[in-house]
């Protein structure tokens, strides 16, 4: 039986790369901060540059932590969806959770703009309102999926139903965009780009709590996920309750995808690419005791790299993170698919 300690070197490599990328990410931005200063401040050592300390502690470290949590959570969610649906192209948003969040934000921005009312929130209040609206939209779709999971007996039907929910909510969003005001449409488009830098410490605590609950449920599902590798019939012969397992995976995936989308916006390809990358690096095992923590580290590393690329050196401008992940993720998936056909 494969044991985690036999992969100590691999996990050490991932953690080391994650730390190096984290420090490099902290040094990037409109204000150049030397790597050594970034390391000192991150480790809690005193510094003679209070401006650097303020920038790192109040902006860059929360952004980097958000990237680690969001990337890792999307990777784990994607892994669970691919294993459960036995579909290598399944991702975190296959259940329509992201579309539900988009619908909530679209209703807030473009629906209320018909009444001329969203601007009364103010900039800070609007940000919280967007997070709440996205969360409510995710919860709505999640509730419908959970109700459907009670009635459905196989994963394929649940997958199709999730895709239909996503298409239906996307259609409503398109209609709202067509009739929405120019300013509301602009705000919605900016939200859809995704952003890791708009979260303060209090919002990060809420996001962390929800993601840790989702990750904890994913850890509890490891044994069942291993059983599902050989099919639902085999898992059932081992005593796995398919219905309870379905609830656990759906709830965990919904928490991870829904919370991430609500707080940072939709981020594509991380949850799809991270599991494939880890399987490519460790082809000798499919044990989720190994794969799941490795995918969390791989997803976190991948999103940190994308965020570093999105930073324009010496400029306050930041490229849309959703665009960067797609630019990197799409060619990566294409190469993986072409490589499998050889």
pLDDT, one tens digit per residue, over 195-228 is 888 888 888 999 999 999 999 999 998 988 888 7
pLDDT, one tens digit per residue, over 114-133 is 554 544 455 556 777 888 88
Fold (topology level) of 4-340 = ABC transporter involved in vitamin B12 uptake, BtuC (1.10.3470)
Residue 1: per-residue pLDDT: 38
Distance CA 294, CA 7 (A): 10
Contact (CB, 8 A) for 155 and 84 = yes
pTM of the model: 0.86
SS3 318: strand
Confidence band (pLDDT; 50, 70, 90) for 65? very high
**Angle CA 191–192–195, to nearest 5:** 60
> What average pLDDT score do residues 234-239 get?
72
pLDDT, one tens digit per residue, over 160-188 is 888 888 888 889 988 888 887 788 888 88
Contact (CB, 8 A) for 71 and 22 = no
Q: Which of 300, 285, 301 is nearest to 4 (CA)?
A: 285
What are the boundaries of each domain within the chain?
Answer: 4-340
Pull the structure tokens for residue 342: 């050889």
Percent of the chain scored above 70 by pLDDT?
A: 90
Residue 70: per-residue pLDDT: 95
pLDDT, one tens digit per residue, over 5-31 is 567 888 999 999 999 999 888 888 777
């Amino acid at each position: 039986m494969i044991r985690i300690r036999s992969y100590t070197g691999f996990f050490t490599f991932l953690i080391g790369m994650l730390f190096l990328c984290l420090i490099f990410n902290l040094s990037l931005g409109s204000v150049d901060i030397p790597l050594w200063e970034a390391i000192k401040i991150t480790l809690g050592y005193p510094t003679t540059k209070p401006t650097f300390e303020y920038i790192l502690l109040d902006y860059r470290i929360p952004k980097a932590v958000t990237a680690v949590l969001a990337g890792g959570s999307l990777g784990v969610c994607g892994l669970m969806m691919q294993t459960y649906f036995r579909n290598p192209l399944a991702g975190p948003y296959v259940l329509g959770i992201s579309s539900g969040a988009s619908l909530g934000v679209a209703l807030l921005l473009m629906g209320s703009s018909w009444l001329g009312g969203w601007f009364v929130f103010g900039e800070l209040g609007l940000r919280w309102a967007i997070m709440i609206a996205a969360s409510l939209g995710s919860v709505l779709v999640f509730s419908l999926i959970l109700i459907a999971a009670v009635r459905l007996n196989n994963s394929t039907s649940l997958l199709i139903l999730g895709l239909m929910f996503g298409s239906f909510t996307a259609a409503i969003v398109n209609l709202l965009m067509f009739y929405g005001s120019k300013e509301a449409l602009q705000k919605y488009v900016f939200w859809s780009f995704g952003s890791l830098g708009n979260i303060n410490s209090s919002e990060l605590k809420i996001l962390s709590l929800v993601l840790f609950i989702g990750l904890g449920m994913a850890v509890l599902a490891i044994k069942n996920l291993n059983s599902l590798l050989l099919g639902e019939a085999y898992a059932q012969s081992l005593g796995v309750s398919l219905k309870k397992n379905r609830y656990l995976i759906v709830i965990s995936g919904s928490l991870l995808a829904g919370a991430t989308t609500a707080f940072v916006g939709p981020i594509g390809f991380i949850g799809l690419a991270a599991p494939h990358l880890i399987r490519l690096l460790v082809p000798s095992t499919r044990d989720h005791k190994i794969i799941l923590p490795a995918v969390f580290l791989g997803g976190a590393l991948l999103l940190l790299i994308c965020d570093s690329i999105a930073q324009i050196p010496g400029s306050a401008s930041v490229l849309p993170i959703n665009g960067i992940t797609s630019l990197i993720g799409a060619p990566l998936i294409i190469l993986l698919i072409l490589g499998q056909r050889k």
